[in-house]
């Protein structure tokens, strides 16, 4: 396989002609960042380039950095290489990176989902010669329900817990998943948020994202102040001193990994809601078909079986070893159906 435009190094995906890296995991001079999650936007780089929509959260997480923003669809030329951000649909501000030089086009997907969630900029397929795709959920067993059904499931669980006099704590990642769930549950009742969730939500609201009001948890908040509440918190806050203030609670977890009962049991969550900000099996295949690419590299997830599947479908497929995560879980061994 020719790797003339993008190459794969121990620091990240590299464009030799442009002399920049995409989502590097070790310090580099120029880093192009797809979105603000910590496995893709890391500290220590000399210069950053990201979407205007992603930069506020990235700056909040990383502190003072030298960064340039670009609008979706805007072309940035670096040493003759044309670079453009295209919506990835993963979380607010997330992007695919289209890279072109002398007629050769590559697209680095970052993380993506193809189903619109009503909050993030909707995914747009990008025609290219070579496509680098995540495959976090790259097995046929992963197929997502419509998010309205998941919203109904969460609301029913919350109502049942409320009738029992218990606070519902829903674990969801603080950038993207938490705000998506808040938006999904509009009108279901007041929602309390952990400080880490509230800070990110406030940043996104200030950017113009329409996220319903929430109530931040303070040192004076407990079950008596908000009986039967729904609390959205990062997974790290579950089973901690922070959560014990609420007394009798029911804990749920919102993740694509909840499709696997073994993970749910191992994590000790009584209730799991299957919702992901990554593409499912059908979404991955749809996105790849829409690019028209003949060459596809897969990364972070079920890379071996998904590459074999792509080979069987006639693609020139390979694997890129990266240090990205999926949904804060490593893929586990599953027998293919």
**How would you write the pLDDT of the chain (337 residues) with one tens digit per residue?**
344 899 999 999 999 999 999 999 999 999 999 999 999 999 999 999 999 999 999 999 999 999 999 999 999 999 999 999 999 999 999 999 999 999 999 999 999 999 999 999 999 999 999 999 999 999 999 999 999 999 999 999 999 999 999 999 999 999 999 999 999 998 888 999 999 999 999 999 999 999 999 999 999 999 999 999 999 999 889 888 899 999 999 999 999 999 887 666 666 667 999 999 999 999 999 999 999 999 999 999 999 999 999 999 999 999 998 988 766 544 444 443 3
Q: What is the pTM of this model?
A: 0.93
Sheet holding 67-70, edge to edge: 7-8, 13-15, 20-22, 30-32, 47-51, 67-70
Q: Is residue 229 part of a domain?
A: yes
Same domain, 174 and 101: no
Cβ atoms of residues 235 and 152 within 8 Å: no
**In sequence order, which residues have a C-beta less than 8 Å from that of residue 227 and are 6 or more positions away?**
162, 165, 167
CATH number at residue 30: 3.60.15.10
User: What sign results for the dihedral spanned by CA atoms 251, 253, 258, 264?
Assistant: negative
Select from 70, 42, 45, 38 the least CA-distant residue to 55: 70
Same domain, 108 and 170: no
Same domain, 267 and 119: no
Same domain, 85 and 50: yes
C-alpha gyration radius of the chain: 20
Packing angle of the helix pair 195-206, 177-184 (nearest 10 deg): 80
Q: Is residue 167 part of a domain?
A: yes
Same domain, 129 and 12: yes
Same domain, 86 and 102: yes
CA separation, residue 119 to residues 52, 83, 159, 229 (Å): 16, 25, 25, 23
CB atoms within 10 A of CB 289: 12
Q: Is residue 297 part of a domain?
A: yes
Same domain, 135 and 14: yes
Structure tokens at 251: 């804990």
Length of the chain in terms of residues written: 337
Q: Is residue 224 part of a domain?
A: yes
Q: How many CA atoms lie less than 13 Å away from 153 in the CB half-sphere?
A: 16
**What is the tally of structural domains in the chain?**
2
What is the domain extent for residue 179?
147-273
Distance between CA 173 and CA 160 in Å, rounded? 24
Q: Is residue 1 part of a domain?
A: no
CATH number at residue 206: 3.40.50
pLDDT of residue 326: 62
pLDDT of residue 265: 67
Same domain, 18 and 36: yes
Same domain, 297 and 190: no
pLDDT of residue 323: 86
């Amino acid at each position: 396989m020719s790797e003339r435009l993008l190459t794969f190094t121990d620091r990240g995906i590299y464009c030799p002609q442009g002399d920049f890296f995409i989502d590097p995991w070790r310090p580099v001079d120029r880093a192009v960042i797809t979105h603000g999650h910590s496995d893709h936007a890391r500290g220590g780089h000399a210069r950053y380039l990201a979407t205007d929509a992603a930069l506020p959260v990235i700056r909040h997480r990383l502190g003072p950095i030298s960064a340039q923003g670009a609008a979706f669809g805007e072309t940035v030329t670096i040493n003759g290489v044309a670079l453009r951000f295209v919506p990835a649909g993963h979380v607010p501000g997330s992007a695919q990176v289209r890279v072109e030089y002398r007629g050769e086009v590559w697209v680095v997907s970052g993380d993506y989902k193809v189903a619109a969630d009503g909050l993030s900029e909707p995914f747009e397929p990008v025609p290219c010669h070579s496509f680098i795709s995540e495959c976090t959920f790259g097995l046929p067993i992963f197929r997502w329900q419509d998010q309205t059904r998941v919203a109904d499931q969460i609301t029913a669980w919350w109502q049942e817990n409320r009738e029992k006099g218990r606070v519902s704590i829903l674990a969801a990642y603080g950038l993207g998943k938490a705000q998506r769930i808040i938006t999904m549950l509009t009108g279901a009742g007041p929602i309390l948020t952990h400080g880490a969730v509230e800070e990110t939500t406030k940043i996104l609201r200030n950017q113009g994202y329409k996220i319903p009001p929430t109530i931040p948890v303070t040192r004076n908040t407990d079950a008596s102040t908000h009986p039967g509440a729904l609390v959205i918190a990062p997974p790290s806050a579950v089973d901690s001193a922070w959560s014990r203030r609420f007394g009798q609670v029911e804990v749920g977890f919102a993740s694509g990994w909840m499709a696997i009962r073994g993970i749910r049991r191992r994590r000790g969550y009584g209730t799991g809601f299957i919702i992901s900000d990554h593409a499912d099996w059908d979404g991955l295949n749809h996105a790849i078909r829409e690019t028209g690419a003949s060459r596809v590299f897969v990364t972070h997830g079920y890379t071996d079986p998904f590459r074999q599947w792509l080979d069987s479908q006639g693609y020139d497929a390979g694997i890129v070893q990266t240090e990205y995560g999926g949904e804060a879980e490593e893929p586990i061994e599953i027998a293919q159906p």
